[in-house]
């Protein structure tokens, strides 16, 4: 295993940079603990799924830097970043991670607002009389 693995994940407008280092399980998200930054256990489980499946958490320290988007998009971006970092350390993990969908970037973005419309697709209210 390399000294430090780096992976970048994106989702909508959220960008997450993940560094995996050999250590004893400390997770730092923007200078806070993972429990403080991601209060829902569902989000924490989503983030740590690639590590829980293929590596042990108590052997790695995670330094995560996220910005943009909401918490859910940041969580998904972080999961992608962790999966990419794991693949950079061990190429054998690529196939199983891809099969589980952890290496697939979600391409959906917010659709732009169009002129003559209230939002991207919503029309202005029509009044007959």
Number of H helices, E strands in the chain: 4, 5
In a domain, 125, yes or no: no
Q: Which domain holds residue 78?
A: 5-99
CATH number at 25 reads: 3.30.230.10
Spatial separation of the C-alpha atoms in residues 16 and 27, rounded to whole Å: 14
Q: What is the pLDDT of residue 1?
A: 52
In a domain, 83, yes or no: yes
| Total count of domains within the chain | 1
Q: Which residues pair with 64 in a beta bridge?
A: 18, 29
What is the reported pTM?
A: 0.88
Q: What is the dihedral of CA 95, 4, 11, 44, to 10 degrees?
A: 90
69 token code pair:
């988007």
List the pLDDT tens digit at each of the 129 positions of the chain. 568 999 999 999 999 999 999 988 899 999 999 999 999 999 999 999 999 888 777 788 999 999 999 999 999 999 999 999 999 988 888 999 999 999 999 999 999 999 999 999 999 999 998
Q: H or E element: which one contains 82?
A: helix 71-89
């Amino acid at each position: 295993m390399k000294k430090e693995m780096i992976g970048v994940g994106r989702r909508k407008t959220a960008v997450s940079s993940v560094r995996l280092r050999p250590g004893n399980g400390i997770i730092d998200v923007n200078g806070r603990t993972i429990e403080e930054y991601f209060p829902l256990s569902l989000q924490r489980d989503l983030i740590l799924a690639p590590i829980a499946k293929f590596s042990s958490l108590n052997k790695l320290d995670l330094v995560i830097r996220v910005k943009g988007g909401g918490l859910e998009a940041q969580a998904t971006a972080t999961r992608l970043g962790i999966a990419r970092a794991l693949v950079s350390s061990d190429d054998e993990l690529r196939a199983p991670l891809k099969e589980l969908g952890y290496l697939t970037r979600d391409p959906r973005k917010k659709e732009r607002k169009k002129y003559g419309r209230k939002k991207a697709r919503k029309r202005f209210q029509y009044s007959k009389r």
